[in-house]
Amino acid sequence: MQRRSIKPFRAILLLGLGLGLGATAALARDAALLERGKYLMNGVVACGNCHIARGEQGQPLFEKGLSGGMVFDEPVFKAVAPNITPDPETGIGKWTDAQLAKAIREGVRPDKSIIGPPMPIEMYRHISDQDLAALIAYLRDQPPMRNAVAKSTYAMPLPPSYGPALASVAAPSVKDKVKTGEYLARIGHCMECHTPRSPQGRLEMDKLGAGGQTFKGPWGESVARNLSSHANGLKDWTDAQISKAIRDGVDRQGKPYKPPMGYGFYRSIKDEDMAALIAYLRSLSPMP
- DSSP state, 158? P
Q: Which of 210, 227, 230 is nearest to 280 (CA)?
A: 227
Q: CA 183, 185, 186: angle at the middle one, nearest 5?
A: 65
Tell me which of 50, 53, 134, 210 binds ligand HEC, using CB under 6 A.
50
Residue 51 sits in the site that holds ligand HEC (CB under 6 A): yes
Binding track over 111-140 against ligand HEC, x by CB under 6 A: ----xx-xxx---x----------x-----
Nearer to ligand HEC, 135 or 203 (CB): 135
Q: Nearer to ligand HEC by C-beta: 23 or 78?
A: 78
**Residue 151 and residue 80 in contact, taking contact as beta carbons nearer than 8 Å:** yes
Taking residue 144's Cβ as centre, other Cβ atoms within 10 Å add up to 17
Q: What residues from 166 to 185 belong to the interface with ligand HEC (CB under 6 A)? A: 185
Least Å distance, CB 269 to ligand HEC, is 7
Residues 6+ away with beta carbon under 8 Å from 6: 14
Query: Is residue 36 near ligand HEC by the rule CB under 6 A?
Result: no
- Stretch near ligand HEC under the rule CB under 6 A, chosen from 1-9, 17-25, 27-35, 108-116: 108-116
Please identify, using beta-carbon distances, which residue of 20 and 272 lies nearer to ligand HEC.
272
Nearest alpha-carbon partner for 117 in 162, 179, 148: 162
Helices (H), 42-120: 48-51, 97-106
Please identify which residue in 109, 140, 179, 244 interacts with ligand HEC, judged by CB under 6 A: 109
> What single-letter amino acid sits at 274?
M
CA atoms of 253 and 265, how far apart (whole Å): 22
User: What span, in angstroms and rounded, lies between the C-alpha atoms of 30 and 36?
Assistant: 10
The reply to whether 149 sits near ligand HEC by the rule CB under 6 A is: no
Number of shown-chain residues binding ligand HEC (CB under 6 A):
45
C-alpha–C-alpha distance, residues 167 and 160, integer Å: 19
The reply to whether 104 sits near ligand HEC by the rule CB under 6 A is yes
User: In the stretch 187-226, what mask flags binding to ligand HEC with x, by CB under 6 A?
Assistant: -xxx-xxx--------------------x------x-xx-
Site string for ligand HEC, 236-265 (x = CB under 6 A): ------x--xx----x-----xx-xx----
